[in-house]
Amino acid sequence: MNGRIDLASGFPEGLAITGEPDREEVRRLFREHGEDALPRVHGAFALAAWDESNQRAVLARDALGARPLYYCVSGTQLWFGSRVPKGAPRGQLDRDALSDYLELGYIPSPGTPWSGVRKLPPGHLLRFGKKGVELKRWFEMPVPGSGRPPSRIVVRARLEEAVRRRLAGEPATMLSGGLDSSALVALMTRLSGKVRTYAAGSEEELELARKIATRFRSDHHELRITHRPAEELPALIAEAGEPFADPALLAMAALLREMRGPVLTGDGADELFAGHLRYLRAARIPELRSAASAAELLRKVAPARHRGTLHRAAVTLRTTGAERARAMIEIFTRDERAALLGVAARTARGASAENLTGLDAALAFDFEVSLPDDVMFRLDLAAGGREVRTPFVDVDLAKAVVPPPWQEKLDRLHVRRLLREAVADLLPREVLTRPPRSPSVPVGAWLRGPLRQMLHDLVRAPTARVRTLLDPRAIDRALSQSLAPRGNPRQAWALLCLELWARER
The 10s digit of each residue's pLDDT in 174-183 is 998 899 999 9
Residue 312: predicted pLDDT: 60
Q: How far apart, in whole angstroms, are the C-alpha atoms of residue 137 and residue 329? A: 29
Specify whether the CB–CB gap between 335 and 311 falls below 8 A: yes
Q: How many CB atoms lie within 10 A of CB 371?
A: 24
* Within this chain, domains 2-137 and 141-223+259-441 share the same CATH topology: no
Residue 290: predicted pLDDT: 61
Domain spans, the chain? 2-137, 141-223+259-441
> Does CATH number 1.10.8.60 belong to domain 2-137?
no
The 10s digit of each residue's pLDDT in 301-310 is 566 555 556 5
Banded pLDDT at 283 (limits 50, 70, 90): confident
Residue 487: predicted pLDDT: 85
Cβ within 8 Å of residue 223, ≥6 positions away: 198, 199, 200, 255, 258
Across the beta sheet with 263-264, the strand order is 219-222, 196-199, 172-174, 263-264, 388-389
321-334 average pLDDT score: 74
- At the top level of CATH, the class of 141-223+259-441 is alpha beta
Banded pLDDT at 318 (limits 50, 70, 90): low
50-75 average pLDDT score: 93
Q: Hey, CA dihedral for 261, 249, 161, 140, is it positive or negative? A: negative
Residue 233: predicted pLDDT: 96
Q: How many CB atoms lie within 10 A of CB 375?
A: 23
The 10s digit of each residue's pLDDT in 253-263 is 999 999 988 99
> Given a cut of 60, is residue 291 above it in pLDDT?
no
Banded pLDDT at 228 (limits 50, 70, 90): very high
